[in-house]
Amino acid sequence: MNRYLLFFFLVWLVGCDKVDKNSKNIFFAGEIVNPTSSHIVLFNGDKVIDSALLDDQNRFSFTLDSLQQGLYHFSHAPEFQYVYLEQGDSLMIRLNTAAFDESLIFTGKGEEINNFLLELFLANEEEAPLIDSYFVLEAKDFAHKLDSLNKTKHELLAELDKDGLITGKEQAIAIASIDYNYNTFKEVYPFKHKKLSHNGMMEALPDDFYNYRKEIDFGNKEFTYLRPYYSFMLNHIQNLSYMDCSKDCTTEGNGTKNQLHFNEHKMHLIDSLITEKELKDNLFRYVAFDYLLHVHDSEENIGNFINTFRELSKNNRHVDEIDNLFKSIENIQPSKSLPEFYVSKVDNDTVSLREISKNGKTVFYFWSGNERSHFDKISKRIADLSASKPNYRFVGINIRTSEGMWKNLLETSKLDPDNQFRAVNFDALRNALIINKLNKCVITENGQIVDAFSDIYSAF
Ligand SMILES: [Zn+2]
């Protein structure tokens, strides 16, 4: 559609509100103030449904003719937010990226549920420090505080309902957004509370503390990508597996402190509880990533974990992603050769990491020109380490920075160009060395890995 036509169409929509109530089409449009990207992308779960370019007045529109009613989300990089869509909706948004969620407003047919979900989202952010301060309370008082927050949200919803402004399916999403949010804090409570009181001992909870557990829905497709629901599931699984495991798995070497056992225990629990395939796949993926990225277990244990994962989570929709991560981790185990990865020198020649580190002890660290305070801090740390650990060579690998900016920074900060290189293909480097945090460092000796999951601040 030509943009003048589109503009008139929008004015017509907003001005006259003469939308065909029986239409199966969904019209979703809006205006972005201070855009941070050139387009808007609409998602169903993790699948892209459609994308729309912003025009020269920063307006976009989607006309969707075969969409199921339900929860979607849209992104205007780097932010995203929910949108609930239903046949016949003609929904407009306006938002200012300077305060993305706070400025967002929905108007038109379908606005009520969307503004309500947004209101809950903002309330959750606002209440977070308050709820944090409740964890010190005893269980009964803690539950009471949460129940009263929960009640105020249900009262708001009842107002909308009384005016007949929301449908049954919308109401189910709204109720789930309220209840799963507050119940998540109850799942977390015993762990946070024991750290704050009772000398770190887990105490008995009142009998009715987990009453809501009788009504948990473990297989609602519509809730799969609802954040409060997903976050509840993660914390519920964590709670149950910890409690079961510390009670039932008392044979030697098992229990919650054995990371391989504990994470396998979690996967068995997910397998037995969750009935919805996509939710199950996502939870399995979460456990796999958590274990593979954070535990740094032995190669043998990692192999065992992956075998259990493949056995329990057949046809997992994320299997390629997890296999790639697993292979990368296997490739950077102690005593293996560094991956044959090429980086740029200041004179534009390329050289491999293996070549750089072939003689003696070399530590690779990472920095980006876009994270200046991190760069200043790590440069100071490297200067100190170079003085106190003269038998190591500290090599900086620059990531996510343009060549010009990189060279400028090298010059102005007087770094030794012989020890500075730039990753041209950052994504490939990130996958090969699993750079999931900027303070990570890779310690090597004669081209072989000593520790690929070290931290530049705690390693020396
Ligand atoms: Zn166990």
Q: Tell me the pTM.
A: 0.85
Ligand 1 center to residue 265 CA distance, Å?
5
Reference 446, options 364, 359, 362, 335; nearest CA is 359
Q: What is the CATH number of the domain that holds 438?
A: 3.40.30.10
| pLDDT at residue number 230 | 96
Ligand 1 center to residue 438 CA distance, Å?
33
When mean pLDDT is compared across 66-70, 328-332, 360-364, the lowest value belongs to 66-70
Domain span at residue 36 reads 3-109
| DSSP structure string for 22-84 | T---EEEEEEEES-SSSEEEEEETTEEEEEEE--TTSEEEEEESSPPSEEEEEEETTEEEEEE
274 shares its domain with 193: yes
Q: What is the mean pLDDT of residues 280-289?
A: 96
Q: State yes or no: pLDDT of 18 exceeds 90.
A: no
298 shares its domain with 417: no
Q: What is the mean pLDDT of residues 244-266?
A: 91
- Other beta carbons within 10 angstroms of residue 283's beta carbon come to 23
Q: What is the mean pLDDT of residues 370-376?
A: 93
Q: Report if residue 460 sits inside a domain.
A: no
Q: Exposure of 236 by Cβ count < 10 A (0-12 exposed, 13-18 middle, 19+ buried)?
A: buried
224 shares its domain with 307: yes
CA 177 – CA 190 distance, rounded (Å): 22
Ligand 1 center to residue 132 CA distance, Å?
29
380 shares its domain with 307: no
Q: Please state, for a pLDDT cut of 70, what percent of the chain lies above it.
A: 95
Number of domains, the chain: 3
177 shares its domain with 325: yes
Q: What is the mean pLDDT of residues 280-301?
A: 94
Q: What is the CATH number of the domain that holds 62?
A: 2.60.40
| pLDDT at residue number 266 | 97
Ligand 1 center to residue 327 CA distance, Å?
26
| pLDDT at residue number 165 | 83
Domain-terminating residue out of 75, 109, 143? 109
Structure tokens at 34: 């201070």
Domain-terminating residue out of 331, 366, 387? 331
285 shares its domain with 376: no
Q: State yes or no: pLDDT of 451 exceeds 90.
A: yes
Q: Report if residue 336 sits inside a domain.
A: no
User: pLDDT digit string (tens) for 142-178?
Assistant: 999 999 999 999 999 999 988 888 888 999 999 999 9
Contact 144, 185 (CB under 8 A): no
427 shares its domain with 352: yes
| pLDDT at residue number 22 | 60
Q: In sequence order, what are the beta bridge partners of 368?
A: 399
419 shares its domain with 302: no
Identify which has the larger pLDDT, 162 or 270.
270
209 shares its domain with 304: yes
346 shares its domain with 421: yes
228 shares its domain with 277: yes
| pLDDT at residue number 6 | 43
Q: Report if residue 311 sits inside a domain.
A: yes
In whole angstroms, how far apart are CA 161 and each of 123, 142, 150, 151, 341? 20, 29, 17, 15, 59
* Distant-in-sequence contacts of 62-69, Cβ < 8 A, 24+ apart: 62/26, 62/27, 62/28, 62/29, 63/25, 63/26, 63/27, 64/25, 64/26, 64/27, 64/28, 65/24, 65/25, 65/26, 66/24, 67/26, 69/169
Ligand 1 center to residue 296 CA distance, Å?
19
Q: Report if residue 11 sits inside a domain.
A: yes
Roughly how many angstroms between the first and final C-alpha of the chain, as a whole number?
61
User: pLDDT digit string (tens) for 339-366?
Assistant: 989 999 999 999 999 999 999 999 999 9
Ligand 1 center to residue 248 CA distance, Å?
7
User: pLDDT digit string (tens) for 200-237?
Assistant: 788 889 999 999 999 999 999 999 999 999 999 999 99
Q: Report if residue 436 sits inside a domain.
A: yes
Residues with a beta carbon under 5 angstroms from ion ligand 1: 245, 249, 265
Instruction: Give 99's DSSP letter.
Output: G
Cα 228 versus chain centre, distance: 13
Ligand 1 center to residue 256 CA distance, Å?
6
Q: State yes or no: pLDDT of 51 exceeds 80.
A: yes
Q: State yes or no: pLDDT of 8 exceeds 70.
A: no
CA 231 – CA 121 distance, rounded (Å): 13
Q: What is the mean pLDDT of residues 441-459?
A: 95
| pLDDT at residue number 17 | 43
Give me the phi and psi of 246, to 5 degrees please.
-75, -20
In whole angstroms, how far apart are CA 165 and each of 30, 67, 108, 116? 22, 21, 12, 11
Q: State yes or no: pLDDT of 180 exceeds 50.
A: yes
Domain-terminating residue out of 303, 331, 359? 331
Q: Report if residue 269 sits inside a domain.
A: yes
Q: Report if residue 337 sits inside a domain.
A: no
Reference 27, options 45, 14, 39, 37; nearest CA is 14
Q: In sequence order, what are the beta bridge partners of 27?
A: 63, 90
Q: Report if residue 114 sits inside a domain.
A: no
CA 286 – CA 280 distance, rounded (Å): 10
319 shares its domain with 191: yes
Ligand 1 center to residue 241 CA distance, Å?
7
Ligand 1 center to residue 177 CA distance, Å?
31
